[in-house]
Structure formats: C-alpha cells, structure tokens
Structure 1
C-alpha cells in the first residue's frame, strides 16, 4: 500500500485487475470460438455460413437489449454483484456449450446465455479502474482490461484450429468446446472468490463524490458535445472492429488465405494490440494527455486498414493487420474509453461506457449484415472513408478537463 497526496493506493488493485482480465478472456473466447473455424463449423453442423455468423452476431444483438440494464445493476449494486452475475452465466453456459457441442440448436441457446453475461463484464471496465486505481493509472488499467480481450482472440485464433484437428482428419469440435467450457467455469469460480467491491479507502478524491443516478447521468452524457463525438467515433471504430473479427475467416478466404494463416493474421492483429495497450495508454497517463494519443492512434491505424483492404497475399495481410491492431486496439480503444469516462463525470462510468459499447454493437451487427449481403470488399472500402470521418471528429474535440487538472497537481 502507498499514499499519494493523502490518498491510499492498495496493491490488491492488481489482483482485482487480473481477476477481471481472466473472466474477460473467457467470455470473449466464447464469443469467437466458432468464427475462428467457420469453414470446419459449416461442415460439422451442416449449415450455411450465415448460421455460423449468427453465433457471433447474437452477442451483439443481446448486448443491445441488456447493455443498459447491466450498467444499471453494476452502478446500483456494485462491481462484485454485476461482474459476479456475468461470471456465473459464463461458467454455466460455457459448460452447457461444451456438453452439447454437437447440437447446433443447443450451442445457439448456450451462446445466447453467454451473450447475456457479456455486458455484465465488459460494462464494468472503467468502473473497476475508477473504483480501484488513481487517475494517473486508469488509462493503463483500462488498457490491461482491453488487452485481455486481445489475448482471448489470440488464443481462439491460434489454438482452436489446432485443437479441432484430430488424427486422420477427425474434427474435434466437441472436445474443444468442452475444454473452453471447463476453463470458463474455473474462471467464474476464481472471480467469485477473489473479486472485492472496493478498497478500504478510495484511490482518488473524485471517487468520494456522488455520481448521478442513471437517468440524470444519461441526460448529462448528451449535454456533453465531446461525449457525443466520442460516441460517434466508437460507433464507427468499434463496429468496424467487431465486424472484421466476426468475419475474419471469410475475409481471408476471399483473399485465398488458408484457415491456419487466417489464425496467424488474427493473432498478429491482437498481439500488436496487446503491445499497443501496454505502451500507448501508459504514455497517455504519463503525459496527462488523452486527445493527442487518440488522434495519433487513429491516424496511424488508417494505413493498416488500407493495407488490409488492398492485400492480396498472406504476407501483406499479416503486416498491415499488425499495424491496424497496434493503433486501433492498443491506443484508440483504451484511451478513448477513459477519455469518455472523464469528460462525462459525474455520470457513472458503467453508463458512459455502456453507451459506447452499445453503439459499437449496433454498428458491428449492421456491418456484419451488410458485409454478408452487399459484399466484404465493398464494406472494407467503406471503412476507410468512415475512418477519415473519425479523424475529423477527434480534431473537433477538446482535451479532458479531468486529466488536465491532474497534470497541474
């Protein structure tokens, strides 16, 4: 434990962050487990590609319905209750998905249950950071929590194609989903045992101040012009990411890239996102700046997106996916989340982040539907144009007053 200007900072905050990262990893593994093996899953379940895509899209659809109820529960009853609900659902439906992995209908039902769990976990990210971390560590804490999602995607993309590959061409989807189910249940138990609501004393002075209730907080959000701009940025950026992740295998299949190579590409994207999440939010915290890091990240993400769109080979796709992941996932996402929480204070963090995630799920679902119906390549070109709009929005935003004030102290 250490003190900063009369505020006590507890070492157990890192245990809380590690536990939160663990349950985040497992709920995200469950999201894209089938997306990483879409070609094999189509044959195994004897269904069309759209039915496999549905297993990912259902996460987005359920999120739209439960995003705000989950945020309300997190704010009213705390992170232990909110995340605890998500953990229990992750464990129960993860096991169900494993036990009935050969039955598409039962897998879809289990996926819906897992989708219900997701907002109770993801919507608590900035709340965990605010409750346990001082302001000069919060972008870093959010970065680590975001990093956990990338770790999940790397595990899925690298491990799943290999886990399902049995001897003599046997497809071991049932055993693989059972393994993920057991891991989900174990993570749920660890979360319930180790997660605590708050430290004995708050990590910052603003944590001691009252927050708005949900309705008042929502009204406050939409009075903040920069928050509305941030919401638009995530509508485009997070939706674009959700769509690309959900259809990563069909995107690469269109380019003549194998399923194993597709896994390497996704792993490179997420791996670079991990590196970015360890570097860029830390730089933001040290410099006490949010807007410049956000602008820098989105500006350098754009060449990666252009390269992915035009890529015609595995090597080119691998290189530009790495650039895309480092700046979009490692910088723009965690710094943007924390910026939104700061400029919307005293709106509860779970509410401000909930709206952002909700917007990204809406656009992600729409983008996936559009890519399936209109065309993948056409939408990739559209994403480039939308990214230019993001840059213009960031240029019109002001720096976070909260981080500016922290820089003066």
Structure 2
C-alpha cells in the first residue's frame, strides 16, 4: 500500500478464503466440544474416578484459566506468525489433548483428563483470538462481519454439540467397566475427529503452497 503517492490498493480476495474459514470453524467445533465433555456427565465421571465434583467441574474451568494465563503471550504469537501457523498450532494442541485423554479410561487416571483439557484449553486461546484477524486479512470489507460471525459460530456450535454427545456415550451404569468403555469410546471419537481436522489443515496448507509456486 502506497498512500503517499496517491495509489489506492485493493484487497484481493480468493476463493481459498472460504476453505480457510471452514477449517477454522472445524477447529472451533472440535475444540469447544471439549469444554463440557466431562461436566455434562459430571455425576458419572465423579463416581467412576472417585473424585470430588469440584474436580470434575475443573475440567471445564480449565478453559477459562488457560485463557486468562495465556491470552497475552498467545496474542503476541498470533501477531508474530501467520494465520496458517496459528491454525496448525491450535489443531495440534487439540489433537494432542485428545490423544492424552485416549489413555484416561482407567479410574486412577483422572490426572490425564486434566492434562488433556489443559492442552485443549490452550488451543482455544488461539481460536478465540483469531476470528477478527482472519476476517480482516482474508475477506473484503463487505464480508468482514459475516466472516467473523461465522468464525465465532464454530465455537458456539462446538459447545452445543459438546453438551449433546457425551450423555449418549458415557451412561450411568452399575458396572464400572461399562462406564470406562464409554469414556474410552468418547475419547477415541474425539481424537479421530481432531486428528482428521489436523490432517486436513496440514494438507490444505501444503497444497496451497504448491499451487502458489505453480
């Protein structure tokens, strides 16, 4: 942009921007599904792990704590690096958190639940800090508000889905092993989805680089 010479520059938009936005929404959905993953079935989780209900509630509270702790340094990193790096980082943290929780289906491994939630909570700091920048950099002036709203919608949709699926997978049962199997399946499904999202993001980034070089 060279305003001193009287030149007017226009933002050039690409169809690829909608792919970026869709990937960002997918990241938001799978990440925010973790927010209520355990608290929505708190009574079952409490009985299975034999922990206080306050600790079960902490699995959701971690998301608020990580945001308060990391929003300033992560905001700096978002400004320092491009959005693709930000998107890959957030997707990687979400997948890593779900990978950790994949091994939490034993009654003495509640600490893995907290570690996994902390990783997912850190990922959501990236996601919450990104929509406005993504919209302003990739979309024209008349599309900024729409793109930003769609980006935020992913988080809301993820939180809603996170309140729906766990009760179907983790059901109250007199047989403790059945509860553990439900937790294992829930963690497995979440990990598969988050891993697929990560692969899609890396693939689209790589493909876009090749197209850019062609």
Which bracket does the TM-score occupy, shorter chain normalised? 0.7 to 0.9
Q: Whole-Å Cα distance in 1 between the matches of residues 21 and 204 of structure 2?
A: 11
Query: How far does residue 166 in structure 1 lie from its aligned partner after superposition?
Result: 8.3
Paired residues of 1:25 and 1:152 also in contact (CA < 8 A): yes
1:153 aligns with 2:159: yes
Q: Whole-Å Cα distance in 1 between the matches of residues 101 and 185 of structure 2?
A: 11
Give CA deviations for 1:160-203 in whole Å, capped at 9, x if unaligned. Answer: 11122388873212211221122112112212222469xx8xxx
1:173 maps to 183
Q: Whole-Å Cα distance in 1 between the matches of residues 174 and 70 of structure 2?
A: 44
Q: TM-score, normalised by structure 2?
A: 0.82
Cα distance change on mapping 1:106 and 1:7 into 2, 3 Å: closer
- Structure 2: stretches of 5+ with no match in the other structure: 1-8
Give CA deviations for 1:269-302 in whole Å, capped at 9, x if unaligned. Answer: xxxxxxxxxxxxxxxxxxxxxxxxxxxxxxxxxx
Query: How far does residue 6 in structure 1 lie from its aligned partner after superposition?
Result: 5.3
SS of the residue corresponding to residue 100 of structure 1 reads coil
Q: Whole-Å Cα distance in 2 between the matches of residues 17 and 95 of structure 1?
A: 25
1:83 maps to 87
Aligned equivalent of 2:195, options 185, 193, 202: 185
Q: Whole-Å Cα distance in 1 between the matches of residues 93 and 71 of structure 2?
A: 15
Aligned equivalent of 2:24, options 3, 16, 20: 20
Give CA deviations for 1:71-93 in whole Å, capped at 9, x if unaligned. Answer: 11111111111222111111122
- Listed as ranges, the matches of 1:236-255 within 5 Å are none
- Listed as ranges, the matches of 1:325-404 within 5 Å are none
1:142 maps to 148
Which structure has the higher relative contact order (CA within 8 Å, separation 6+)?
A: 2
2:112 maps to 106
Paired residues of 1:74 and 1:82 also in contact (CA < 8 A): yes
Aligned equivalent of 2:136, options 106, 130, 135: 130
Q: Whole-Å Cα distance in 2 between the matches of residues 19 and 111 of structure 1?
A: 21
Between Structure 1 and Structure 2, how many residues are aligned? 194
Give the root-mean-square deviation of aligned CA atoms. 2.2
2:68 maps to 64
Q: Whole-Å Cα distance in 2 between the matches of residues 139 and 38 of structure 1?
A: 37
- Listed as ranges, the matches of 1:201-220 within 5 Å are none
1:47 aligns with 2:46: no
Q: Whole-Å Cα distance in 2 between the matches of residues 99 and 90 of structure 1?
A: 15
- Structure 1: stretches of 5+ with no match in the other structure: 201-409
Q: TM-score, normalised by structure 1?
A: 0.45
